[in-house]
Amino acid sequence: MEYRYSLLGEVAEFFSGLSVRNRERCLDLFRAIAEDPFQTGDTFTRDSVGRHIQHKFEAGWEISFWADHPIKEIRIVGLRRIPRR
């Protein structure tokens, strides 16, 4: 069984306001994370219950996620645009 991904409510609201092009790019990034659910991000933090939240920086985006391995789901808990330097 492959992993699927889900978006936290706030992430879904932000995502829905993006342009079609940016939504497609983010969907590609979400799928890539779900295809390799054991990957680690570029950095990580811990949430209020101690879970490792991975932060992946790619294509001008920061995607924050954690893997819920027992149910084979990637939880996308953060999404933000990174300003280009």
pLDDT tens, residue by residue, 39-56: 999 999 999 999 999 999
First to last CA, the chain: 40
23-44: burial string, b at 16+ Cβ within 10 Å, e else: eebbeebbeebbeebeeebeee
pTM reported for the whole predicted model = 0.91
Show the domains of the chain with their CATH numbers: 4-81 (3.30.2310.20)
8, 38 contact by CB (below 8 A): no
Question: Each residue of 3-30: pLDDT tens digit?
Answer: 999 999 999 999 999 999 999 999 999 9
